[in-house]
Amino acid sequence: MDSLATLVVEAGNFAAKKGDSEFSPRKKLVVDFFQEQAYDAVALGQDELTSPLSEWISAADSGLPIVAANLYGSKKSNKPLFEPYRMVERNDLTMAVVGLVPERAAVKSPDSASVRIRSPYQMKKLFKKLEKKSDVISIIGDFTPQEAESLAKCYPNIDLILSPNAQAAKALQFGNVTVMGCGSKGYFGDYVDLNLAVHDSATAKTVRETLDQAIPADTVYEKRVSSAQIKPRK
């Protein structure tokens, strides 16, 4: 994928909620898939945070590249529970992929009383550091368009905010910051084509790929769904 200048990320809300009867097999399925497909970065959304953080700490320890710059291990800790960001090299460009958790999403966590979440709008020191280290900065996380607009105003020098939030499905532009949704529905998959040929003129657009219904269910992911005996969700 490096030759195609492709980054593979997950912006959150990929697992079932903790009370869902399919939580365990679905979590195992997607975590295994992300690891096998060498994802560059994975963010935690509101759905993932309904389960204990120990579930995701264990997944990170086993190699899942979870990023969350504003989620700390205790009320007094200044050390993030997960990697705050990942630096990715593609075609002689360096991209910083920063994971952020909205405060409203962390409230759903059963560990909310013991961990500390810093406002995603209070990370200016981090982004100033990343400006010096990278050509492109992107944020991944479960943000509504309104929250993303506030992030764009707070950090006008970033390039892209990627969200799984259904409200953010349409591409939005706030100054130089592009906000885009990602995800899939039925036999469609939505992807982001970010042109980084020249950093100052980076452009982004949504690309919708149609998955071929004629292909038998023998692809990597479909085989995982079948063996897990869970229902594919449209």
Whether 81 and 72 have beta carbons less than 8 Å apart is answered as yes
DSSP secondary structure letters along 121-172: TS-HHHHHHHHHH-SEEEEES---HHHHHHHHHH-TT--EEEE--GGG-S-E
Rounded to whole angstroms, how far apart are CA atoms 45 and 106?
9
CATH of the domain at 204: 3.60.21.10
Tell me whether residue 221 is in a domain: yes
Tell me whether residue 123 is in a domain: yes
User: At 42, which amino acid appears?
Assistant: V
Range of the domain at 35: 2-228
Whether 161 and 120 have beta carbons less than 8 Å apart is answered as no
pLDDT of residue 4: 57
As a whole number, mean pLDDT of residues 44-57 equals 92
Tell me whether residue 233 is in a domain: no
Strand 93-99 and strand 85-90: the pairing is antiparallel
Tell me whether residue 60 is in a domain: yes
Is the pLDDT assigned to residue 28 strictly greater than 50? yes
Tell me whether residue 57 is in a domain: yes
Is the pLDDT assigned to residue 207 strictly greater than 50? yes
Tell me whether residue 119 is in a domain: yes
Strand 160-163 and strand 177-181: the pairing is parallel
Reference 5, options 193, 191, 209; nearest CA is 193
Tell me whether residue 234 is in a domain: no
Question: E strands, the chain, where?
Answer: 9-10, 41-42, 71-72, 85-90, 93-99, 116-117, 136-140, 160-163, 172-174, 177-181, 183-185, 188-195, 203-210
User: Number of structural domains, the chain?
Assistant: 1
Return the residue matching tokens 């910083």: 96
At 103-120, the pLDDT tens digits run 998 888 899 999 999 999
At 139-193, the pLDDT tens digits run 999 999 899 999 999 999 998 999 987 665 667 888 888 888 766 555 555 566 6
Q: Work out the number of other CB atoms within 10 angstroms of the CB of residue 228.
A: 16
Q: Which helix (H) or strand (E) holds 227?
A: helix 220-228
Would the pTM count as exceeding 0.75?
yes
3 falls in which pLDDT band (50, 70, 90)? very low
